[in-house]
Amino acid sequence: MSMREAFHIPEEDLIQYVLGTLKDTQMSQFTAHISLCNACRGQLANFQVELASFAAVQPFTELPAGARDRFMTRLTSDQASETGFAQMRDKSRASGGLRSIQQWVESPVLFRIVSGALAAALLYVGSDDLSHIHQLRQMQPELARFEGQAGELADLQDFLRGSNTQQVSLHDRPEINKTSEGHVIYSSSSGKLVFTASNLPSAPLGKAYELWILPASGAAPVPAGVFKPDLQGNAAVIFPQIPVNVNAGAFGVTVEDEAGATKPTLPIILSGQ
Amino acid sequence: MEDAELLEAVARQDQSAMAELFDKYSRLVYSIALRVLHEPDLAEDVMQEVLLQVWRQPGGFVSQRGSVGAWLAVVARNRSIDVIRRRAHMTPMEEMVLPEPRNLQRAVEDSYLMDQVRVAVGALSGEQQSPLHMAYFEGLTHTEISERTSTPLGTVKTRIRTALATVRNALEA
């Protein structure tokens, strides 16, 4: 039995998860686990429907007079501008994400939930952006590799908790794609790197994406992993084989042959420093 | 029109489809909001925002998240709780992509099933229903319910689980 399968969230906690009444730290922990655990996701789905059904059988109240007209008037005049909800959500994500994930990284649960370690990486770099739930699933092959390798897991845990890492967001150039993005956590002293990306278009046939470290010294770019996005455009590179003590001035992603390249081919799809 | 067709039409900014969606779900959304907020004006504001969210971001709901009704119920309840707690919060549940649990996702739209659930829930005593009601409509944690009702925490958890099991049994009957 894998470690992932050995732990499931208790029913009462899943119920509170659906109700949103858990503490932020627990929400983050459970989100990470649920994203990777089909059994808990199934239970969660049941509770969601049961709670909605419970709500739906309470006596209905008729709408106030004119409510439909008011709604349709607002619908007609509605602009594509940001909604109050969107603003609330953005504000919430911006302010709460890093804090809650930091708390999670400090939690002892990290030692027990292998999946959590990888989830922490994504949630941390994604500033609690829940779209990264999809990325978590994309990382499952990497997770499987780590499950049997406690030493590497400990390394990953230390790495994510380390204070001497660079964290860089990579953004696309406007003419290529508005929404593709990547995030890097990198430590030159240990030569360790975690990279996640989202909204990448599929690589051309026979091609793949390649991540590069562009040394601050101006030396030749260092290849840091070849990857292909999944159907949702998400991808991850975890602890690629790279030399230590390469001080990064920037990071870039290019399209290369599937086998990888020794030097990058323009154009640079994503870049950040 | 089925919900999937409605949502497709809404995505094309078809106002008549949005009106149909409103007619189908506004009472559910409003009733939940009112039950949480106890103020008709606030409840209507929440109802408008929840449904406008579908209009503005029709991609925000995907079929894998379950039924439209169940999802709107979750969002309506959470938005209302947000209001009373003066918080700006998007819960993970709203973006969670979940598996379809044994055809239960359509339950909220199935009047026969809802009648069964209504009877089953109605058969629960007030004491059995109360903790779930407080958790769902007041956003209280299990611990807060325990303190407010002077009931042992274990009893609160058991009553909530039992109430949900009652709903589940009615849905599966």
Taking an 8 Å cut-off on Cβ atoms, the answer to whether A44 and B108 are in contact is: no
pLDDT at A29: 80
By the 10 Å C-beta count (0-12 exposed, 13-18 middle, 19+ buried), A135 is classed as buried
Q: Which residue of B has its CA nearest to A129?
A: B92
pLDDT at A206: 83
What per-residue string of b and e applies to B17-50 under the rule 16 or more CB within 10 Å gives b? Answer: bbebbbebbbbbbbbbbbbbbeeeebbbbbbbbb
pLDDT average per 10 residues of sequence, chain A (273 residues)? 60 89 81 81 85 87 93 79 41 35 37 38 37 43 48 57 62 54 81 80 86 86 87 74 84 88 85 79
Question: Distance between CA atoms of A117 and A161, rounded to whole angstroms?
Answer: 10
Distance from CA of A32 to the nearest CA of B (A): 10
Taking an 8 Å cut-off on Cβ atoms, the answer to whether A34 and B96 are in contact is: yes
ipTM entry: 0.80
Tell me the two tokens of residue B173: 């009957």
Q: What is the pLDDT of residues B66-91, one digit of tens each?
A: 578 878 888 899 899 888 876 444 45
Give the global pTM: 0.52
Question: Distance between CA atoms of B31 and B40, rounded to whole angstroms?
Answer: 9
Taking an 8 Å cut-off on Cβ atoms, the answer to whether B30 and A48 are in contact is: no
With contacts defined as CB-CB under 8 Å, which chain A residues touch B47?
A: 63, 67, 71
Tell me the two tokens of residue A235: 């991808």
With contacts defined as CB-CB under 8 Å, which chain A residues touch B157?
A: 12
Q: What is the pLDDT of residues B102-157, one digit of tens each?
A: 444 455 556 777 888 899 999 999 999 999 999 999 989 999 999 999 999 999 99
Taking an 8 Å cut-off on Cβ atoms, the answer to whether A18 and B69 are in contact is: no
How many helices (H) and strands (E) chain B has is answered by: 8, 0
A99 touches chain B (CB under 8 A): no
DSSP-based three-state secondary structure for A253: strand
